[in-house]
Amino acid sequence: MITEQELRLAPDTEYMSDEQQYFFKQLLLAQKQHTQNHLEQIKQQLANPPECNDEADRAQLEDDMAIKLRLADREYRLLRKIDSALRRLHTGEYGFCQETGEPIGIERLLIRPTAEFGTDVKVISEEKEKFYAS
């Protein structure tokens, strides 16, 4: 299997070769397993809350539960993104911007393996979000 260093040094002509696709598939599968394990831990904590007799303890517990629920929601969304990236790998679309069709780039994929858009498209999208949110 190709290493991360070899991946970084590979020429552009090898972009998304079978070896590189295999690397990212393994990376995504490992990330999925880690996320599923973390989500299971959160579920267990939510299902078995400690007893609270004090009002302050109860308030803290409710805050903690709200945070865990938000975290669980984020983990579920990440799992959907990982599954989407794995489908794109299967169809040969992985590593290419869904808007422009241009390569996303190895560096960006190493940082965010679930990336769907190139950096330029993502920056423009975020700027639009800021503009319309104001």
Q: Are 16 and 108 in contact (CB under 8 A)?
A: no
Which residues, 6 or more positions from 103, have their beta carbon under 8 angstroms from its beta carbon? 12, 15, 16, 95, 96, 97, 118
**Is 54 a residue whose pLDDT tops 90?**
no
Mean pLDDT value across residues 18-46: 96
Residue 131 has pLDDT above 90, yes or no: no
Domain count, the chain: 1
Amino acid at site 69: L
What's the whole-model pTM score? Answer: 0.84
Top pLDDT among 122 and 40 is at 40
- Strands (DSSP E) found in the chain: none
pLDDT at 13 over 80: yes
pLDDT at 134: 62
The tens digit of pLDDT for each residue in 83-123 reads 999 999 999 999 999 999 999 999 999 999 999 998 887 77
CATH of the domain at 43: 1.20.120.910
More confident residue, 54 or 84: 84
Q: Comparing 14-23, 104-113, 125-134, which segment has the lowest mean pLDDT?
A: 125-134
- For the cut 70, the answer to whether the pLDDT of residue 26 exceeds it is yes
Contact at 8 Å (CB) between 104 and 115? yes
What confidence score (pLDDT) does residue 61 get? 86
Dump the DSSP string for 37-76.
HHHHHHHHHHHSPPP--SHHHHHHHHHHHHHHHHHHHHHH
Range of the domain at 124: 4-133
